[in-house]
Amino acid sequence: MKLFFRRYSKYLKEHYKSFIVVLFSSLMVALSTAWGTYLVKPTLDEIFINKDTHMLKILPFLVILAYLGKSGGMYLGTYFTNFIGLDIVKKIRNTMLESLLKMEMDFFNRTKKGELIARITNDIGLIRASLSNYLSESIREGLTIVGLVGVVIYQSPKLALVGLVIMPLAAIPISKIIRKVKKLAKAHQESNAKITARLSEVFNNVEAIKISNGEKLEHKAFVKENEAFFKIGIKNIAVAEISSPLMEFLGSIAIALVIYLGGNEVIKGHISVGAFFSFITALFMLYTPIKRLTRIVSNFQEALVASDRIHEILEREPAIVDGELTLDDSIHTIEFKKVWLAY
């Protein structure tokens, strides 16, 4: 992962001002989300239990303000992250094509055109998703987790210990899932490149296929490639998607324990009804950014594989460099000997 960000750090540095806006918007979302869960306490305690009419006039506006801050932060973050991502994709595509055009003809003879097209389109698209969506979402969700954990601990440190202790247990199986996803992501992208290459060959040579009556043969070959793509894709989904249900299950155990223990605390008068519901709301909402982060890390594996595939070309030196040789004498005439053409 360090190598990934080192490769694209120069592009990110060019957008440091936009990145500051993304950080600010993520902080807005995190604080607004945490504030919204905290407001549950005064809403229940002051309005519904203490019948405070003054708070009845103030709290609705505070709730609106909290969600306004969250909505504004989401919009700013989405706009600027997509701006960064699209601009970086544009520059990488330009650089990649420039590198390809410098390659010797032998490289193009050995490499399928569809494979190159897949790297410039599909692989770079995954890079865009990682540099814009995944990066911004991980920052936003990470800050949101910090804010919600702060509310949970503030309302009841005792219950927080119960509610939060289960989360690290999920890290063990999820880390194994992520490693498996990375392997499958590489196979999935390579399979996608094969399909693109196959289609490119078919469309570029459709006249030859029809002349030789090879329609059935080409279709059979494509069906085989397509079936392999399907099997790898469905296996990738089966492994990647198991992380969310796992978090749901572990979260339900934590919340069930909190409801039981928290209910006893409320009955004994150790914690107010408002504080408990503020706690449980924050805990409920806490599992959403955690699940999203898990999904982001899982999806990020595809971007890591795509980055390696892209830099295989960007870091490859052409075998023939124009202007590398210097002739001792000037060229006056060019003569062709034993030249023949077959068709």
Query: Tell me, what's the pLDDT at 176?
Result: 76
Higher pLDDT, 229 or 296: 229
Query: Tell me, what's the pLDDT at 175?
Result: 73
Query: Tell me, what's the pLDDT at 343?
Result: 55
Q: What is the total count of domains within the chain?
A: 1
- Inside any domain, residue 319: no
Query: Tell me, what's the pLDDT at 106?
Result: 84
- Inside any domain, residue 333: no
Q: Is the dihedral of CA 15, 21, 27, 28 positive or negative?
A: negative
Query: Tell me, what's the pLDDT at 170?
Result: 65
- Write out the two tokens for 167: 């989360």
Out of 152-161, 199-208, 320-329, 334-343, the most confident range is 152-161
282-321 pLDDT per residue, tens: 988 988 888 888 778 777 877 888 888 888 888 888 877 6
Q: DSSP letters of 109-178? A: HHS-HHHHHHIIIIIHHHHHHIIIIIHHHHHHHHHHHHHHHHHHHHH-HHHHHHHHHTGGGGHHHHHHHH
23-35 pLDDT per residue, tens: 999 999 999 999 9
Distance CA 313, CA 7 (A): 14
Percentage of residues in the chain with pLDDT exceeding 70?
95
- Write out the two tokens for 317: 């030196």
- Inside any domain, residue 336: no
Residue 124 is part of which domain span? Answer: 2-314
State the CATH number of the domain containing residue 19: 1.20.1560.10
- Inside any domain, residue 330: no
- Inside any domain, residue 120: yes
Query: Tell me, what's the pLDDT at 33?
Result: 95
**In the structure, what pLDDT confidence band is assigned to residue 3 with cuts at 50, 70 and 90?**
confident
169-202 pLDDT per residue, tens: 766 777 777 778 778 887 888 888 888 888 888 8
Query: Tell me, what's the pLDDT at 171?
Result: 64
Distance CA 98, CA 286 (A): 46
What is the average pLDDT score of the chain?
Answer: 85
Query: Tell me, what's the pLDDT at 21?
Result: 94
Query: Tell me, what's the pLDDT at 47?
Result: 92
pLDDT of 81 strictly over 80 = yes
The model's pTM: 0.75
- Inside any domain, residue 6: yes
Distance CA 252, CA 166 (A): 10
pLDDT of 225 strictly over 60 = yes
pLDDT of 51 strictly over 80 = yes
- Inside any domain, residue 331: no
pLDDT of 100 strictly over 80 = yes
- Inside any domain, residue 340: no
Choice among 46-55, 99-108, 213-222 with the minimum mean pLDDT: 99-108
**In the structure, what pLDDT confidence band is assigned to residue 323 with cuts at 50, 70 and 90?**
low
